Amino acid sequence: MKRQGSLVCVGTGMQLAGQITILAKSYIESADVVFTLVPEAYTERWLEKLNGDVRSLQGYYAKAGEIKNRRDSYAQMVDAILIEVKNGKDVVCAFYGHPGVFACVSHLAIEQAKEEGYSAQMLPGVSAEACLWADLGIDPGTGGHQSFEASQFMFYQHTPDPCAHLLLWQIGIAGEHTLTQFSTSSEKLQVLVEQLQQWYPAEHQVVLYEAASLPTQSPRIERINLADLPEAALSGITTLLIPPSKPLSHNDEILSKLGISATDLG
């Protein structure tokens, strides 16, 4: 039996107001409480016009000069959300972009709410990846794509396919493992460059991408050589796109079993 009180996690999209879905907006308008985790004040103020009780979760992050593990911040955010759900309120959490992509608070809160017998769900939103494909004019279906968080890519035995696009997220904190810092260093980025050179030449052109957060802005699309990455200006929303360095190769064994010749593929 479901308890009174509910949780819905929604995404605001990457651009103020314009990329939020009609369904997500309706949940925000009808909620008893709306928690927000968005990077700028414009979206917060817009959300405040939709609902009279909007509360920012930004205050749980480390203050200036404070060293605080982000896991502790996330746990405190989840606690704040669940308190209102347990109070029998219909709670909405509005996250920047897609509510389930690089947004562990939503997953943790939904999991805990369900475990305790409350109704909880997530609605999809327009993500940075969706904007990237549109802004760069790339169809990832033509050759495939692979996607990793940059530090995870460095710490574990991932092997990228140089025939497909490679996305490395949160490149601005690549190599950071303490969860207390919000930036990386040129030395750590050099380690990443050397790692990537197993599959990509130093002069291979890569793209630094940042989705526009306002309709009046343009996305950042900066092409540099892979070797120049350690000196590049990076922010918390920078994504590294590495285009394919090799063409697709036919799988002759499978084609033979299927009775298909390479020329049949065009």
Q: Is residue 249 part of a domain?
A: no
pLDDT band at 216 (very low <50, low <70, confident <90, very high): confident
C-alpha distance from residue 147 to each of 159, 167, 224 (Å) = 11, 5, 20
Q: Is residue 266 part of a domain?
A: no
Region 70-89 average pLDDT: 96
Q: Is residue 258 part of a domain?
A: no
CATH code, 16: 3.40.1010.10
User: In terms of domains, do 199 and 230 share one?
Assistant: yes
Q: What is the pTM of this model?
A: 0.91
Domain finish residue from 87, 122, 157: 122
pLDDT band at 1 (very low <50, low <70, confident <90, very high): low
Range of the domain at 27: 6-122
User: In terms of domains, do 88 and 37 share one?
Assistant: yes
Q: Is residue 263 part of a domain?
A: no
Q: Is residue 247 part of a domain?
A: no
Q: How many domains does the chain have?
A: 2
Q: Is residue 252 part of a domain?
A: no
Which stretches within 87-174 are classed as H helix? 104-115, 128-136, 150-155
User: In terms of domains, do 15 and 105 share one?
Assistant: yes
User: In terms of domains, do 31 and 12 share one?
Assistant: yes
Q: Is residue 52 part of a domain?
A: yes
Q: Is residue 257 part of a domain?
A: no
Domain finish residue from 85, 103, 122: 122
130-189 residue pLDDT tens: 999 999 999 999 999 999 999 999 999 999 999 999 999 999 999 998 878 888 999 999
Catalytic residue positions, numbered: 70, 74, 96
Give the tokens for residue 100. 């389930």
CATH code, 168: 3.30.950.10
pLDDT band at 214 (very low <50, low <70, confident <90, very high): confident
Residue owning tokens 């997530």: 122
pLDDT score of 235:
94
On whether the CB atoms of residues 36 and 47 are closer than 8 A, the answer is yes
User: In terms of domains, do 201 and 218 share one?
Assistant: yes
* Contacts of 204 by beta carbon, 8 Å cutoff, 6+ apart: 225, 226, 242, 243, 245
Percent of the chain with pLDDT over 90: 85
